[in-house]
Structure 1
């Protein structure tokens, strides 16, 4: 199946389009519905179901989410309702749409798309895609394989929290000109360069449309840097790419976890483990 529906959940809008996963190009016009206020799970699921019905495509559906996604569960909710935390969102979307839904982090989706069809196409080695907007999203891709949920916007640079200090929102908040902002970004990228030695940085988000204002001011030691190519289509394309891949095997469940019902949903919680007698003796001695 070469045409698959990709849906990108954003803070202000939820948009979708059919994607030719062989070429990375949209196979039809995008359709956008405003994100419901508060972005509560039931409301967002309803909009995603509307988009699926609008396009009427059979087959799997890829959906992005602005938070950590692990084995179909949403584990963080920085800019959406806290009810997403611990939710089996894959199952919720699948039930509501009647399609096999595959969920992934929004920055990871952009990374997949840029690595395969965008600015990282044909680049071997390590590609690090960073989206600068309200925060800083990250996607780490090595030889075309995604390492999910890197969340590198939450690194600390001495006293600075990276995305609070160097995001596009920080530029606007602190009234920085592009050269001043680029100095912060350079410090952040140099730290990532030390940690990951990427062959290529790809800079996405809204700033990718204004690369001429900041690109010449970025200073790196050895990595190359280029702006993203797919821009607003990257999330949709990356979501469809994931849905086109075979589903991974079900993860093994740690014996230290057990299912529990929390606020109408099932999530894993730690089971208390009693210390061994040896540990107890050491503690009392």
Structure 2
């Protein structure tokens, strides 16, 4: 039973991570995107999330630090194993996007804050998701500059299906985590599945691309493991937070709904040439580094 709950939780985390880290990030869906493509992406993200979840279980870290650090692990698995973007020459990519988006937004905000609805209450949650929606509409103003010649921007209806429609799966994922409630520690053989898959892919890619920067990924993972272990409280169960009504989880749809309405209106006004990516990247990189620095400081003081 613990193993099935663990696998279900990996899938739920994969859904949340794809919506927050792919749909809300890329915003304008690529032409020809099929449901099967999203399903494959969810599976890949579920494996990456499984690595983070296994480390959370092994170290016993909990609360928002678990969501942020687990999101960081997931982010480095996505960017360092699945796509390999962090091996570009600039060190900037070791923060953007593994920490600045996957850890901060996908992990800390959408998952961590999203699981705190019982503490924050519906009014504050609605305000948080409203702020995310406004930020997403601003972020969307960068993407028209990335659209290739002849490729149209998505219509409002397509955006609604891509962002709000897929967001409905996020609500179901949160409800599923409510049903799980607490996850008793699965057998180690199960906890090793995702990390072993990620390791094998990383080794295969390293053989195919002899980039010396690849050796930095294990060092980053060791740092994250050390912080998680120092902050961990031990125990044999992972708490997923208190359950809330389904309608309260559905408040997360406020964010994509606002973005879907405002972004095309701003595109029509010619705002699609804004360098929103620079502003968002600078702000999120700074916030994520500050958060990680505080966690490292707390870990060192223990």
Same fold (TM over 0.5): no
Larger Rg: 1
Q: TM-score, normalised by structure 1?
A: 0.25
User: Which protein has greater RCO, CA pairs closer than 8 Å, 6+ apart?
Assistant: 2
More helix, by proportion: 2
